[in-house]
């Protein structure tokens, strides 16, 4: 698992969002994009993270920044999650986890002694030219959105 570093070109993606619309990283060219990877829709940590980003969405828009969430959940699950919590940004279905692998966030995890493969909660800030401006590996949800907003203000 190789993690992206600041200055790296962000790997391209083309994934379906919660409405079945294809979303490409290139469609955000010229603006900053917060790309966050979360393990599973509608679970406690992922819900808190997504709702915190939704709460900050007006500030992010003012800072000319977009938000994209990516998880291995299918489109239908992403739609239920977005509708249940009023999430207004794209939630992308990476069901074969190829994008997560390309971004270096797919790896071995452990829960109650059981080992399995999954997404390591991570956030990337992509600048207007498509390069990685900031990386937050193994995100702790509390206070994370404030870190992201601060980083956007700094670039």
pLDDT tens for 50-59 read 999 999 999 9
Q: Mean per-residue pLDDT for 15-36? A: 96
The answer, yes or no, to whether residue 128 has pLDDT greater than 90, is yes
Q: For this structure, is 51 an active site residue? A: no
Where residue 126 falls among pLDDT bands split at 50, 70, 90? very high
Helix crossing, 75-85 with 44-55: angle to 10°?
A: 60
Of the two residues 114 and 81, the one the predictor is more confident about is: 81
70-83 pLDDT tens trace: 999 999 999 999 99
* 143 half-sphere exposure, CB direction, 13 A CA radius: 1
pLDDT at 2: 56
Percent of the chain with pLDDT over 70: 99
Which of these is catalytic: 46, 91, 105, 145?
46
pLDDT at 138: 87
């Amino acid at each position: 698992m190789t993690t992206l570093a600041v200055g790296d070109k962000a790997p391209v993606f083309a994934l379906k969002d919660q409405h079945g619309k294809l979303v490409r990283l290139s469609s955000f060219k010229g603006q900053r994009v917060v790309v966050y990877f979360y393990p599973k829709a509608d679970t406690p940590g992922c819900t808190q993270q997504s709702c915190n980003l939704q709460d900050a969405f007006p500030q992010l828009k003012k800072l000319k920044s977009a938000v994209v969430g990516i998880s291995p959940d299918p489109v239908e699950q992403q739609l239920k999650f977005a509708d249940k919590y009023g999430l207004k940004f794209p939630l992308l279905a990476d069901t074969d986890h190829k994008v997560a692998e390309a971004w270096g966030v797919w790896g071995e995890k452990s829960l109650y002694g059981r080992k399995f493969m999954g997404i390591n909660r991570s956030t990337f800030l992509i600048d207007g030219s498509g390069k990685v401006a900031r990386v937050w590996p193994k995100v702790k949800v509390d206070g994370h959105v404030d870190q992201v907003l601060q980083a956007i203000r700094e670039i």
